[in-house]
Each structure stands twice: as C-alpha cells, then as structure tokens.
Amino acid sequence: MGLDITVLAVDWERLKATPVRERLPLLEDAAFPDVDLDWDAAPDAGWVWPTVPDPPWCGRYDFHCTSGSYKPHFWAGEAWEDVRDFADPELRESLDGFLRGLFWHDDSVPPPLDGLLHGDPDPWRPGLLVACPPQAVAELAALWATAEPLLEGLREAYAVHAARPGGWIEDFDAFAVLLREWATVVGEAEQRGWGLLGLPW
C-alpha cells in the first residue's frame, strides 16, 4: 500500500476562520461527503464539487492518470531533477518555482505551512503534501504561464535524460499530462481566489 494524495481547492478565508482542531474533519467532510456511492460507476476524474444547496467552499480534483496515488507526482519530481539542467534557462526557472510549490521538494524548502492543520496522531502518516495560500496560487499561475509555451522544447532532452519506460511517468508525454493537470488545478483555484491543499488520503 502506497501513499495517496487528495488535492483540494479551498476557500482560504473559511478555512482560516475555522478553529485549527476542526479544520481536518471539516475538510474530510467536504472532500468526501457521506453519500451513497455507486460502486459500479466509473471513478471520478477532474473536479468533484459537493452537491449541497450552499455555495461550495471546497472542491476535490481527481487526477485522470494517477488513481489517487502520490507515486506519479513523486516520479515526475524525480524526472524534473534529472532533466532540469538540460532545460532552457527560462523554462528551468519557471518550472522550478511551479513544481517546488506542488510536488518537487528539496531540503532548502521547509514543510508547507506548519500549524495549518491540527497535528496528526499517527506517526507514520505525513502531514500536508501541498499547501498554497491564494497568493502562492497566483504566483504558481504566473510561473505556469511562462513555462507552458516552452514545455514542448523539453521533449528531446527528456527522452535522453529522464525517460523511464514502464514507470509511473515513463516519458515526456506522461510528464506533460501531469503538469497540465496541475495547471488546471492551479487555474481553477486562482480564478476563485482560493488556496490549494494536498492531503495524504
């Protein structure tokens, strides 16, 4: 059994107005409402919004190609580490910032927003995987706007330095698909003026 990730776009003001000890249960209820599930239905992909009469304050994004697993995100980060030195300098700078804000981590970056949620009592379970308040989301959107037109130029170098046939992110196309899905997530949150959370569920 591996680590999963649940990505949420969140009305940051509502989250911050909630007492810290109540935030995680509130997010769990919003992300996975207690409804009757159709186990024969196709899995969700894309945005899942609550079906409640109140205006939504939280939405869940289910990645099309990951089955909820964190592994593709991790391996995309590893692939970027392998290929970034061969990227156009402008692309490298933009993708460094974009990916560092989402799933590419290094020791110089502190854990995201310590204290945002009440501590988890299970020591084996990591804390937040992604935590971007609205201002950080806006910065990610600007970085992607610079990176996206240059991304195709990475294809050849990726094939030489980062391809892993049969792996979670086996080639440039899989890498680009995952990045574009993250761009969809960031774009929706930015449009709403919300933040982003990635939780290990």
Each residue of 130-163: pLDDT tens digit? 999 999 999 999 999 999 999 999 999 999 999 9
Show the domain range for 44.
6-199
Residue 12 near residue 195 (C-beta atoms within 8 A): yes
pLDDT of residue 164 exceeding 80, the answer is: yes
> Within a domain: residue 1?
no
Please report the beta strands in 23-101, taking only residues with DSSP state E, as ranges in sequence order.
Answer: 46-48, 58-62
How much is the pLDDT for 11?
95
How much is the pLDDT for 110?
54
How many structural domains is the chain composed of?
A: 1
Cα separation values, 128 from 72, 77, 113, 132, 172, Å: 17, 17, 8, 10, 28
> Within a domain: residue 37?
yes
Alpha-carbon gap, residue 157 to 63, rounded angstroms: 26
Residue 80 near residue 107 (C-beta atoms within 8 A): no
- Residue 70 pLDDT grade (very low, low, confident, very high; cuts 50, 70, 90): very high
> Within a domain: residue 167?
yes
pLDDT of residue 37 exceeding 60, the answer is: no
